[in-house]
């Protein structure tokens, strides 16, 4: 029984040590050419391998990240489970990023950085208090709910939107197209943590930005293809939006001449809101393997209907 790790060798070394200690009966390999394809039961990867058909006894594909939209057009045999990474380390890092970005926009950090480059010493007054700000989260899954819970401690007014109706303590929850419009119209800082689906592709567009109040701002840590960059730049240049923190764009990286690189109202980070931490991810994977071997569903199992919405 072989677990084939098709990711980077640095993280693979951490996984190998964890498997040797906690799951010695499963052979861990990082070299597809050195193992009998018939013995491979599990594969961990980020991008779907092009040669999945060569593994006749494959039981599960583990995605090393939280997002699985890259598997949307992959024909996985019905017997093969797809499991996304649900790891406390990923959740913690996303929450850190969202809190950092929301507080930075709340306190006008992007403006002060621009002023520093111009050697300008100017206060921005008045400074609104958290109780005067409505922070709204698009996407109320594990990451969105965790980020909203942490933001509650700062005293912001909170709203959230999801495709289906949710109820979370400490925030007003919306769903559906009408709910989205209602939430956006009262939002000061919008946080996008949506998965990529046909419905969310291009959702951060001119119509959405125009629905936000003048002076609103954006934190985008969902998926790059959800953002229409030209629409965001137009909204920023016209002053309708006051700022944006972007961790994901399309393409990644942006072309050198793209205006988002140097836009004075934009803080751009290179898709680092969450980076899978090898130690905790290895233990999460090992616990999931134990569940699979016991005939139980693993944590992070992706339903076929959910996958085909991507």
124-166 per-position pLDDT tens digit? 999 999 999 999 999 999 999 999 999 999 999 999 999 999 9
- CA-to-CA distance for 206 and 107, rounded, in angstroms? 25
- Split at pLDDT 50, 70, 90, the class of 307 is low
73 pLDDT band, cuts 50/70/90, is confident
The token duo for 95 is 């929450």
- H helical segments located in 82-215: 88-106, 109-117, 142-152, 176-184, 206-211
Secondary structure (3-state) at 121: coil
Q: Are 65 and 85 in contact (CB under 8 A)?
A: yes
DSSP-derived 3-state class of residue 4 = strand
pLDDT exceeds cutoff 70 at 22: yes
**Is the pLDDT score of 30 beyond 70?**
yes
Q: pLDDT at residue 232 above 70?
A: yes
pLDDT at 67: 84
Residue 5 β-bridge partners: 44
Which among 251, 191, 253, 194 has a CA at the least distance from the CA of 222? 194
Distance CA 101, CA 109 (A): 9
Residue 37 is given by DSSP the state G
Name the token pair of 7: 């990711």
- Examine the pLDDT at 50 and tell me if it is beyond 90: no
Nearest to 120 by CA among 245, 264, 227: 264
Do 18 and 282 touch, CB atoms closer than 8 A? yes
Which tokens in the block code for residue 69? 């939209």
Average pLDDT over residues 210-234: 98
For β-strands 81-83 and 172-175, DSSP reports them as unpaired
Catalytic residue positions, numbered: 223, 271
**% the chain with pLDDT above 90:** 87
Closest CA to 76 of 100, 36, 45: 45
280 token code pair: 């905790």
What's the length of the chain?
310
Q: What is the pTM of this model?
A: 0.87
DSSP H/E element including 237: helix 229-237
Q: pLDDT tens, 182-210? A: 999 999 999 999 999 899 999 999 999 99
Residue among 145, 150, 158 nearest 188 (CA): 158
Rounded CA gap, 182 and 304, in Å? 31
Residue 310 pLDDT exceeds 50:
no
**Could you give the domains of the chain?**
2-87+276-308 (3.40.50.720), 89-268 (3.40.50.720)
Q: Tell me what the mean pLDDT of segment 54-83 comes to.
A: 91
Residues 6+ apart with CB under 8 A from 299: 83, 86, 284, 287, 288, 291
């Amino acid at each position: 029984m072989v677990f084939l790790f098709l990711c980077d060798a640095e993280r693979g070394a951490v996984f190998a040590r964890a498997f040797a200690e906690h799951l010695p009966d499963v052979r861990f390999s990082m070299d597809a050419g050195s193992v009998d394809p018939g013995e491979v039961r599990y594969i961990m990867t980020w991008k779907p391998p092009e040669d999945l058909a060569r593994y006749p006894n494959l039981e599960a594909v583990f995605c090393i990240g939280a997002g699985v939209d890259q598997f949307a057009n992959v024909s996985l045999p019905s017997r093969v489970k797809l499991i996304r990474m649900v790891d406390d380390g990923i959740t913690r890092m996303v929450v850190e990023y969202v809190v950092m970005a929301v507080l930075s926009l709340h306190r006008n950090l992007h403006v002060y950085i621009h002023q520093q480059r111009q050697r300008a010493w100017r206060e921005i007054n008045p400074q609104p208090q958290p109780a005067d700000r409505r922070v709204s989260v698009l996407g109320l899954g594990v990451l969105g709910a965790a980020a909203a819970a942490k933001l509650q401690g700062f005293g912001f007014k909170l709203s959230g939107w999801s495709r289906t109706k949710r109820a979370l303590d400490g925030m007003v929850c919306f769903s559906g197209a009408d709910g989205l419009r209602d939430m956006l119209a009262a939002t000061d800082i919008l946080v996008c943590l949506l998965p990529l689906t046909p419905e969310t592709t291009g959702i951060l567009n001119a119509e959405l930005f125009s629905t936000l109040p003048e002076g609103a701002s954006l934190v985008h840590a969902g998926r790059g293809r959800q953002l229409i960059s030209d629409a965001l730049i137009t909204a920023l240049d016209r002053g309708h939006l006051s700022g944006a923190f972007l961790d994901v764009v399309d393409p990644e990286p942006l072309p050198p001449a793209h205006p988002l690189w140097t836009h004075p109202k934009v803080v751009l980070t290179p898709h680092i809101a969450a980076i899978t931490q090898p130690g905790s991810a290895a233990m999460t994977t090992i616990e999931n393997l134990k569940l699979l071997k016991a005939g139980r569903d693993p944590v992070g199992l992706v339903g076929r209907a959910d996958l085909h919405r991507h």
